[in-house]
A and B are shown apart, each in its own frame.
Chain A
Amino acid sequence: MTAYIIKRVLAVIPILIFVGVVTFSLVHIAPGDAANIMAGDYAGPDDVKLIRKELGLDKPVMQQFVEWVGRTIRGDLGSSIFSGISVIDLVRTRIGATLSLTITGGILAVLLGIPLGVIAAWKAGSFIDRFVQIWAAAGISIPGFWLGFIMIWAFSVNLRWFPVIGYVPPTESITDWIRHITLPTILLGINGSAIIVRMTRAALLEVFREDYIRTARSKGLAESAILFRHALRSGAIPIITVIGFLAAALITGTVVTETVFTIPGLGRLVAETVQTRDFPIVQSLLMLLATVYVFVNLIVDISYVVLDPRVRL
């Protein structure tokens, strides 16, 4: 088991290298150039050249990459080319909002998704199952920004239950914090729960077809014992996989959600800086989010080993 965990942890290194290469390439291959944007509409080619030189964009791409990797490893994530604020400071001021959203949204997604998925699988083909599946299909296919605007229009503008935009940290006022994050949390939670419902239902349906479930029935066990002791335990492994997917859904979800609800978090920071080609920030943020995602999946993988005696060697 320890050997497996060590192997799995080491496997993170090539993954992160790959992610780094892709992140860097995307930012540098993408059309549009920070120097052009900085220089403004009336600048001549010489101005742009000067700015490129200042930003180091005139160096060969390979050299830029090596320098960036070197700085990143030393913990220097760079700073905004416009405001000069360091990425670390930006992240520090904005991570609170994003963590609030992803944690509450993630909890909501799990609390909704797993029970609904279990019920749908248990009563497969029934009215409840059909209802849950429609819910899941809607949660996955309805665009987040559209649903977000509908929610703002209905609950904030018309009913005035919630503020329209903004964010208040819980350290300032717990009630205001709750009022601000309720709608964004629901938006993130609906989308996340839809993914979990689908995975949970599929995983359990697979388990119900297993021979050992028939054995459990032949022993005279009650349906509840079969579900909780035999099926869910075996199903827990694929269901945990969902948490990995959920992490991805939440990370992408925050970009949309924070933009729609004008919440000053990391997601909105990504959206803004991509538009302005503030490449040091985009690079570092993408790298940061990808690293979080990779580590969530690392934890998921390790928990398999702990949960499944067949892998526990």
Chain B
Amino acid sequence: MGRGKPHPNRQQLPHSPRLLEPLPEKPDTHDHTQQHNRTHMVSTLQSDSGHLLEVHDLQTHFTTSDGVVKAVDGVSFHLDQGEVLGLVGESGCGKSVSALSIMRLIPNPPGEIVEGKVIFEGQDLLKVSEAQMRQVRGSRISMIFQEPMTSLTPVLSIGRQLRESLELHLNMTRQQAEGRAVELLDMVGIPDAARRVTDYPHQLSGGQRQRVMIAIAMSCTPKLLIADEATTALDVTIQAQILELMKDLTQQFGTAVIIITHNLGVVARYADRVNVMYAGKIRETGRADEIYENPKHPYTVGLLSSVPRLDVPADQKLEPIRGDVPNLMDLPEGCTFRDRCDWAVDRCAEDDPPLEEVTPGHSAACWEKHRVRAHAKAAAK
């Protein structure tokens, strides 16, 4: 099962022959400006709190002709070195926008980060220049996206797309990068890597393309990997292989992971901690095993009963959460989950519940959080 307790310094796996040594921070370079920046970043590697990433009150809005969508509305969380954080919620609740905000890849217009801090290695990414941000992207923080079919440039060979990152961030020469590209493909389990390196994306299967995406993402040994529904589009066996590969590599490189999914089962297996998002806000957060065993928000309970679980008899039928995700442009007063909630009380219509601690390290935003149980539904009322 999971990786156990949160552990800032996860143990390195014994080296299997296929896996490579992590790369040095940065090889020799003649580029003085980049060198300078990197030195600066190393000197402020960790913030005072010691977290790798701290997101404070992040708010990202989209202005459309119909109105303003508060896609991310005051999200705060943190992540330690090497930690795996799950970000779950139904589609449209702001997971991707949160991730893209961290990367500062929100298309503007229509989107804009209107508020908040994203402190990564001690530096507020929302304040650095675009040029500095480009040095972070793909190098310190990388991202894997959902659609393996469309996420690679169709007219460039996969080798070329791998080399690109190596030449840009690690200042490798073309020859060095070519060699390394083959090693990376080999590392992510592409058979006959030396020959496949000249292939174009359409010549690979979906799973292989996602392996290439992982190779690109891990090529510069990032400190943080954001996997946005990276396996959702794949079939179940391939999905498991890709997740295992990501787990192996990130553990070996000491990379922290934000794993975005609408599948709590995936999170329970791979994440140390979980944030449950609904309508642009984090509604529950805590250790993965804790959330799984003892959910305190009705939405989390709903998500759990909509995926197969090992600890529930297989004949118990899966129940999707009734109703739909509310329109983010026109959210109701009070708790945004109210219309779909089996526990709702009068107060829920008036006040939006704040995220409050239930037990140390486990918080939920629900007025009735102390009544909520995993397997008891409204009947418990």
**Which residues in A have some Cβ–Cβ distance to B below 8 Å?**
125, 210-212, 214-222, 225, 229-230, 233-234, 236, 307-310
| Chain A min CB distance to B312 (Å) | 36
Q: How large is the interface on B (under 10, 10 to 19, 20 to 34, 35 or more residues)?
A: 20 to 34
Q: Are A309 and B202 in contact (CB under 8 A)?
A: yes
Q: What is the bound-complex CA distance between A106 and B86, given in angstroms?
A: 56
Residues in A neighbouring B151, C-beta threshold 8 A: 211-212, 214-215
B47 on the A face (CB < 8 A): no
Bound CA span A307–B151, Å: 19
Partner of B202, one of A221, A230, A310: A310
User: Which of A214, A220, A308, A309 lies at the interface centre, i.e. has the most chain B CB atoms within 10 A of its CB?
Assistant: A220
Whether, in the assembled complex, B78 has its beta carbon less than 8 Å from a beta carbon of chain A, the answer is no
Given contacts A218-B103, A220-B135, 17 further A-B contacts (CB under 8 A): A125-B109, A211-B150, A212-B151, A214-B105, A215-B213, A215-B216, A218-B137, A218-B142, A219-B142, A219-B216, A220-B133, A220-B138, A221-B138, A230-B153, A233-B155, A236-B155, A310-B202
On whether the beta carbons of B168 and A221 are closer than 8 Å, the reply is yes
Given contacts A309-B200, A310-B200, contact A217 B156 (CB under 8 A): no
Contact of A220 among B134, B154, B202 (CB under 8 A): B134
Interface contact A211-B147, CB-CB below 8 Å: yes
- B137 proximity list for chain A (CB < 8 A): 217-220
Which residues 290-307 of B sit at the A interface, judged by CB distance below 8 A? Answer: none
CA distance A230 to B165 in the complex (A): 13
Q: Is B164 an interface residue (CB 8 A)?
A: yes
On whether the beta carbons of A219 and B168 are closer than 8 Å, the reply is yes
CA–CA, A307 and B143, complex, Å: 29
Q: Are B150 and A212 in contact (CB under 8 A)?
A: yes
Q: In the complex, what residues of A have CB within 8 A of residue B152's CB?
A: 212, 215
Asked if B136 lies at the interface with its beta carbon under 8 angstroms from chain A, I say yes
A308, B202: Cα distance in complex, Å: 11
Q: State whether A310 and B109 are in contact (beta carbons under 8 Å apart), knowing that A218-B137, A219-B142 are contacts in the complex.
A: no
Tell me the bound Cα distance from A228 to B297 in angstroms: 49
Q: How far is the CB of B85 from chain A (nearest CB, A)?
A: 18
CA distance A220 to B217 in the complex (A): 11
Instruction: Tell me the bound Cα distance from A310 to B202 in angstroms.
Output: 6
**Does B169 have its Cβ within 8 Å of any Cβ on chain A?**
yes
List, in ascending order, chain B residues with CB within 8 A of A221's CB.
134, 138, 164, 168
The answer for the CA separation of A230 and B151 in the assembled complex, in Å, is 12
Would you call A309 and B164 a contact (CB within 8 A)?
no
Docked complex Cα distance between A216 and B216 (Å): 11
Most A Cβ at <10 Å: residue of B103, B153, B200: B153
Indicate whether B145 reaches chain A with its CB closer than 8 angstroms: yes
Residues on A with beta carbons closer than 8 Å to the beta carbon of B213: 215
Those 6 A-B pairs whose CB atoms lie nearest each other, nearest first: A220-B137, A219-B138, A220-B138, A309-B200, A211-B150, A212-B153
- In the complex formed, the residue of A with least CB distance to B147 is A211
What A residues does B153 contact at CB under 8 A? 212, 215-216, 229-230, 233-234
Contact check, B154 vs A234: say whether CB atoms are below 8 A apart.
yes
Interface residue B139 (Cβ < 8 Å from any Cβ of A): yes
Query: Per-position contact with A for B224-247: 1 when CB-CB < 8 Å, else 0?
Result: 000000000000000000000000
In the complex, what's the smallest C-beta–C-beta distance from A217 to chain B, in angstroms? 6
- Residue among A211, A234, A307 facing the most chain B CB atoms (10 A cut-off): A211
Nearest CB in chain A to that of B109: its residue: A125
How far in angstroms is the closest Cβ of chain B from A111?
A: 23
CB A225 to nearest CB in B, in angstroms, measures 8
Q: Which of B89-109 contact A (CB under 8 A)?
A: 103, 105, 109
CB pair A219–B165 under 8 Å, yes or no, is yes
